[in-house]
Amino acid sequence: MNIPEVILCKFGEVVLKGANRQNFESALVKELRRRACPYGNFKIYFKQSTVYVEPLDELCDMDGMYEEAKRVFGIVGVNRAAVCEKNMEDIIRVAKEYLPEKLAGKRTFKVDAKRSDKKFPLKSPEISAEIGGVILSFGSRIKVDVHNPEVTVTVEVRDDNAFIRAGQEPGAGGLPIRSAGRGLLLLSGGIDSPVAGCMMAKRGLEIEALHFESFPYTSERAKEKVMTLAEEMCAFCSRIHVHVISLTHIQEEIRDRCEEDYFTILLRIFMMRLAERCAREYKCQALITGESLGQVASQTLAAIAVTDSVVNMPVFRPCIGLDKTEIIKEARHYGTFDTAILPFEDCCTVFTPRHPRTQPKLGDVMRELEKLDVEALLDEAYATLTTETKLVYPEYR
């Protein structure tokens, strides 16, 4: 069988956009073109609320590109479709050759015809009846079930060609990367923050990341774990610049000068201040954290209110209403869970107080901060900043 195929990528909420819809479509096509680089020479273009991924030679890896397309935010459905001439004779010929393998082992089906070219001589119900008859002629035990079919065969008659496909797999959904701005993710080595970053990327944000280390209290293996997490996130987020700042001296100063039970909230304040500075330098419009309300001492409502008070930009917390089971489910979906549970410490585990303050008052926290040379410590820490770039593929730019 040598029937030409294309990959059809269906838009989701992008189709609901108004006058700026073209910007979202353009961002989505650009992202697909970047991701196609390792798989060969594809023609990728937008037409009639669909992105077409068309192989230009036999060397193209259709299987790899198909799997890649399912990880691109902004796409809700992905399918491989046979290309036909726009006449019923060729549509029937291709159906007879293309569909038996696709329907092998299936028990029930229905045919859904979509005739966007209204000049086509047969109407949608007539096309469905014709192709349904072809499928029933295969001689298998497959039957028609229009209410709950195991597989839906779709025939689309468009402006230039007709397409036949059997079933559709879900895409990543959301909005295209870079269509909503840029956010800075506070990336720890845990389960929650990679999920938070991917969830905000799904809403169209380009993700930058900031990781805090505390060498020698944290190891090089802990930093490597975070870099691996960033690489795994790139399967959905495409490209992430990971900035790293040392908190060692800040933590030692808090330990030596401040009351122990305020350590967690004071450290969090320094993190937020440094994150805001980094975000502004790298043109991010918001901070992103993996906090879940009430999960640990620094994530109570009172603690969040204190840490939010020290920054002047939005702080997105997409995991705020999720419990741990739900966050783990998302981590498995994004492919970060197995790395996140590796037993390497992060900076938040250094000098952990025995009884952290869970209901801090802003005035009390500010009095503790007065014991420190805050601006000097911030400047010293920020001077340690280094950056690594993680890509979905080496060819990706």
Q: How far apart are CA 105 and CA 109, in angstroms?
A: 11
What is the 8-class DSSP label of residue 394? T
Task: Give the residue ranges of the chain where pLDDT is below 50.
Answer: none
Per-residue pLDDT at 48: 76
286: β partners: 183
Q: Are 378 and 277 in contact (CB under 8 A)?
A: yes
Structure tokens at 74: 């902004």
Per-residue pLDDT at 347: 67
Q: How far apart are CA 342 and CA 191, in angstroms?
A: 10
Structure tokens at 122: 């047969």
Q: Which domains, from first to last, does the chain contain?
A: 5-170 (3.30.2130.30), 182-391 (3.40.50.620)
Per-residue pLDDT at 78: 97
Q: Are 385 and 243 in contact (CB under 8 A)?
A: yes
Structure tokens at 319: 């995991």
What is the 8-class DSSP label of residue 205? P
The DSSP line for 131-198 is HHHHHHTT-SS-EE-SSS-SEEEEEEE-SS-EEEEE--EE---SB-TTSS-EEEEE--SSSHHHHHHH
Three-state DSSP class for residue 93: helix
Per-residue pLDDT at 345: 72
Per-residue pLDDT at 397: 59
- Could you tell me where the DSSP H helices lie in the chain? 21-35, 62-69, 88-103, 124-136, 192-201, 220-237, 248-257, 263-281, 301-308, 324-334, 337-340, 362-369, 374-382
Please tell me the pTM assigned to this model: 0.92
55: β partners: 42
Per-residue pLDDT at 396: 64
